[in-house]
Amino acid sequence: MWSTTEGLRAIKSCKEHELKPDLLLLDMSSEGIQGPSVCRSIRRFDGRIMILAMTSFSINYYTSAVKLSGAQGIVSKNDEDDLLKAICRVLLSNPSHQ
Rounded to two decimals, the pTM is 0.90
| Rounded CA separation 62/58 (Å) | 7
Could you state, in chain order, the average pLDDT of each consecutive group of 10 residues for the chain (98 residues)? 92 86 93 94 95 94 93 94 94 71
CA 76 to each of CA 17, 43, 47, 61, 73: distance values in angstroms, whole numbers, following the listed order? 29, 22, 23, 11, 11
